[in-house]
Amino acid sequence: MNKKMIIVLPVEEFEGEIADIMRNFSESKKNGIYLCLNKPINYRIELLNRQKININNVFFIDSISGMEKEEGNTIFLGNISSKKIISAIAKMIVGEPKKDYLFIESLRTLEIYEGEAGLSDFLMKLNKKIIENKMDMIALATNHTEHGKILTYFDKVINIK
Amino acid sequence: MVVKEYFSENSILLVVVPKEQYLAKTIEILKELEMSMEKICYVCLTQPYSALSDLLKKNNIDKDKFRFIDVLTNTVQNTNSTSNCTYVSGPSALTEIGVAFSKITENTNGSLIDSITSLLVYEDENSVIRFTHSLMTKTRIQEMKAVFIALKEDTNTNLIKDLYMFSDKVIYFSSIKSQISEIMKGERQ
């Protein structure tokens, strides 16, 4: 059974939670996709390295560094666009090795750029791909905004206060 | 010390100050940046370059260490940019400010954006968040340091909380009134 989980938490806890989740994936040697929405990939890798988290099995999608290219394990998208993100995820999913999970750094950031309806549409399309490919999905969301509508796309909601 | 001690491990600092301490803290930050960096980009969103220039002089801060982006002067009087000050058409011209920022920061070690919450007067919250996110990303890619000042009185908006996700460190200063109340509470206990 694959899981789709949303973790709602204060912004102050984001970095700690990201490190915990990625450490878990790393220790279980799972292959997965990390969607960078808050900080550019180079800086994110530096932060994960500081925490001594092995990222050899992680494939990154960077939507904020402002360039559009593919390099190593990373697809750079140029800007935050849910359409581009869906295409990049689809491309990564079909590639080897099989991806076990998708980690979304911040749904709030996607909402800031795409609006509430855009975020909802993104999750609907993404859900289909996640189910088809038997992947897990974990997404972080801030607790200072409402998430009523999008919670329906997840099997499990965890609230951290 | 306001920001200097945090720069060894962090690139992007968000400093949240109450209005009553805004000027004093801004001057402290300017002095720390002047002492620790060779060239600094100063995006001033609250006062024109001429007023700022006087303020720096009055506080013995070396103006030549700064490259300014003035967003206010051109709203009342057309002024051509100089080697140390770029005048943009107005505070709503976020793309223009972003372009000037990219250009100037090619030759600076750090930047000060003062104050990001003042943009809320001219633009909606999501536009200000996206704009600030882009300045923060540019700062990281250029491997610079940056200080973003925000006024505490504006923290009831989502802006500060959202910017928290993009910053490395958020430094809060409490108002003198709440400092006194904390001391009184401590004495009562």
Kindly write down the DSSP assignment for every residue of chain B, as one continuous string.
--SGGGTTT-SEEEEEE-HHHHHHHHHHHHHHHHHH-S-EEEEESSS-HHHHHHHHHHTT--GGGEEEEESSGGGTS-----SSEEEPS-TT-HHHHHHHHHHHGGG-SEEEEETGGGGGGTS-HHHHHHHHHHHHHHHHHTT-EEEEEEEGGGTTSSHHHHHHHH-SEEEE---HHHHHHHHHHHHH-
Token code pair at residue A125: 């399309």
Distance from CA of B37 to the nearest CA of A (A): 22
Report the alpha-carbon angle B68-B14-B151, nearest 5: 80
CB-CB neighbors (< 8 A) of B140 in chain A: 39-40, 42-43
Q: Which residues contact A72 (CB under 8 A, 6 or more apart)?
A: none
- Point out the residue among A12, A113, A145 whose CB comes nearest to the CB of B164: A12
Cis peptide, bond prior to residue B89, ω within 30 of zero: no
Q: Give residue A66's pLDDT band: very low, low, confident or very high (50, 70, 90).
A: confident
Distance from CA of A112 to the nearest CA of B (A): 6
Nearest to B28 by CA among B57, B70, B61: B61
Asked if residue A88 has pLDDT above 70, the reply is: yes
Specify the pLDDT at position B42.
97
More confident position, B178 or A95: A95
The tens place of each residue's pLDDT in chain B, 189 residues long, gives 678 888 888 899 999 999 999 999 999 999 999 999 999 999 999 999 999 999 999 999 999 999 999 999 999 999 999 999 999 999 999 999 999 999 999 999 999 999 999 999 999 999 999 999 999 999 999 999 999 999 988 766 788 999 999 999 999 987 666 665 666 666 665
CB-CB neighbors (< 8 A) of B164 in chain A: 11-12, 14
Q: Is A113 on the interface with B (CB under 8 A)?
A: yes
Specify the pLDDT at position B3.
83
Is residue A151 within 8 A of residue A119, CB to CB? The reply is no
Task: Please indicate whether, in this complex, the C-beta atoms of A112 and B130 are within 8 angstroms of each other.
Answer: yes
Specify the pLDDT at position B189.
59
The predicted model gives A19-30 an average pLDDT of 95
Task: Please indicate whether, in this complex, the C-beta atoms of B161 and A14 are within 8 angstroms of each other.
Answer: no
Amino acid letter, A106: S
CB-CB neighbors (< 8 A) of B137 in chain A: 39-40, 64-66
pTM: 0.92
B28-41 residues labelled b (16+ CB within 10 A) or e (exposed): bbbbbbbeebebbb
Is residue B66 within 8 A of residue B52, CB to CB? The reply is no
